[in-house]
Amino acid sequence: MLAYDIVEDKRRQKIAKLCEAVAERVQDSVFEGYLTPEELQKLDKKVKRIFKKEEDSLRIYRLCSACHDKIQMHGAGKVTPPPGVRIV
């Protein structure tokens, strides 16, 4: 799970695009995704080039599969399912 609080609009839009490329947006500044350690490291590196650590924040919450199975969802929306096999 990724969540951010970015002060400036231009930086926020850039970081949102980076997050949208690897995860599903579930709220305005919250994303759910299944990233490999390499993908997470790559995202972290890109984000750090854009955001200002004195003003902005990005939080990355790693959930184990047992924790993911216990997510409670209320209201509209759904928990992002794990990636599966897609037959084309």
- Residue 74 lies inside a defined structural domain of this protein: no
* 2-48 pLDDT, tens digit each: 999 999 999 999 999 999 999 999 999 999 988 989 999 999 999 99
- Residue 11 lies inside a defined structural domain of this protein: yes
Please check whether residue 59 is in contact with residue 15, taking contact to mean a CB–CB distance below 8 angstroms.
Answer: no
Displacement of CA 6 from its chain's centroid (Å): 14
Residue 62: its H or E element: none
- Residue 53 lies inside a defined structural domain of this protein: yes
Q: What is the pTM of this model?
A: 0.80
- Domain interval for residue 55: 2-62
The label of the residue with tokens 């969802």 reads 73
- Total count of domains within the chain: 1
* 45-59 pLDDT, tens digit each: 999 999 899 999 999
CATH of the domain at 7: 3.30.70.240
